Amino acid sequence: MRRSAVFALSVALAVLPGTLGAAFEAPPEASPSGDVPEGSEVLFRLTDPRIRESSGLAASRLHEGIYWTHNDSGDYGAEVYAVDEDGETLATVTLTGPGVEARDWEAVSVGVDDNGDPAVFVGDIGDNFQGGWPNVRAYRFPEPRQLTDQTIEATTFTFTYEDGGRDAEAMMVDPRDGRLYVISKEVAGGVYAAPKTLDPEGPNTLTRIDSAPLYATDAAFSPDGSHYAIRTYWGATVYDAAEGVRGRSVDQVSLPESDQGESLAYSHDGTALLAGTEGEQSPVWRIPLPDSATGQAEESPDAGEESAATEQETDRAGGASALIWTGAALAALMIAAIVLLVRKT
């Protein structure tokens, strides 16, 4: 029998009872509906045949309606694509420079460079060996003002985790201070903060500052930095970043079902999430956010005394929803492990 199957089964059996028990104790209103928010729609499809495994997505800072994406690991070059809202590729940027390679690209974010100018960060942070790489990297290049095919020398930043190597697919950059964060893809995932100032000579230590949802596959900050979101294969959790990261969970958003949902970005106006998936001609969905997840909700005049209670209720609801989603995922993991065991015996 497979060692991976035994491990998966043991983890599921150990964690599932407590997780499901906590989830079923949640009040009925804490359960997610399972339906995507009203108004969700396919914004565009990636039409470029070269983009077969889009695993990262980020809205351009300089060009309205333009998004950056790239392929996952495989037989791909070190290329980043600028696509419009028709899904057409307007520019291909080929990255060169010391340390640049397409090892396991999993995320892309837009921040700023040392001069405060818009810059694109590509996260070479995947690790299919579950922590086997001695380090991971991010490549930063200035965001082009002209969307034409071009080759750009990128700056390579090398990172090591303070608590040992791990796999990750999610990365985000705070637009307010340019700080980079990596979110590990694990059962007990974590949010890791990079140093405030990155050293290209490295290595730069990633410090765990918070827990993360089960199997995070991408993350993004809103354009103004007031919120950030972390997605999994099943949904996204939105956090209030008014006081930074770690933030308070303010909403759970169901995402459309997809073959392998890995990418997440905010829309240019910050009112919606964009969620993509791997595959040829893959769709990018636009999912409207409620006011509670954008900071636009209006407070009643006498809401002062109720605000603390409301925040506590939101935290409980968000936490319960996360427990339910985690319980469902672990149940699926247990079933898959049992199937593998049966087949191998």
Locate 40 and state its tokens: 């969700």
Q: Show the CA angle centred on residue 323, arms to residues 318 and 327, nearest 5°.
A: 150
Amino acid, single-letter form, for residue 37: P
pLDDT, residue 267, reads 97
Q: Show the CA angle centred on residue 180, arms to residues 201 and 250, nearest 5°.
A: 165
Radius of gyration of the chain (CA): 20
* Count of other CB atoms within 10 angstroms of residue 20: 17
Within 8 A by CB and 6+ apart from 84, the residues are 44, 65, 66, 67, 90
Max alpha carbon distance in the chain (Å)?
66
pLDDT, residue 100, reads 96
Pick the CATH number of 38-289 from 2.120.10.30, 2.30.60.10, 1.10.3720.10, 3.90.1150.10: 2.120.10.30
Within 8 A by CB and 6+ apart from 153, the residues are 95, 96, 97, 141
Q: What phi, psi does 22 have (nearest 5°)?
A: -65, -40
Cα–Cα distance measured from residue 82 to residue 129, given in angstroms and rounded to the nearest whole number: 30
Cα–Cα distance measured from residue 102 to residue 3, given in angstroms and rounded to the nearest whole number: 30
String of b and e for 129-145 (b: at least 16 CB within 10 Å)?
Answer: eeeebeebbbbbbbbbe
Cα–Cα distance measured from residue 157 to residue 155, given in angstroms and rounded to the nearest whole number: 7
pLDDT, residue 327, reads 52
Per DSSP, the three-state class of 151 is: strand
pLDDT, residue 297, reads 57
Of residues 80, 76, 78, 90, the one with CA closest to residue 47: 90
pLDDT, residue 299, reads 43
pLDDT, residue 259, reads 80
pLDDT, residue 203, reads 93
* Sequence spans of domains, the chain: 1-35+309-345, 38-289
Strands (E) across 72-223 are located at: 79-83, 89-96, 107-112, 118-124, 136-142, 150-153, 155-161, 168-173, 180-184, 190-193, 204-211, 218-221
Within 8 A by CB and 6+ apart from 254, the residues are 32, 33, 34, 35, 36, 37, 234, 235
pLDDT, residue 295, reads 76
pTM: 0.79
Of residues 294, 236, 274, the one with CA closest to residue 85: 274
Q: What is the block-wise mean pLDDT of the chain (345 residues), using blocks of 10 residues?
A: 39 40 32 69 96 96 97 90 98 97 95 95 90 91 98 98 95 96 95 97 95 96 97 95 94 90 95 95 96 69 44 43 47 45 38
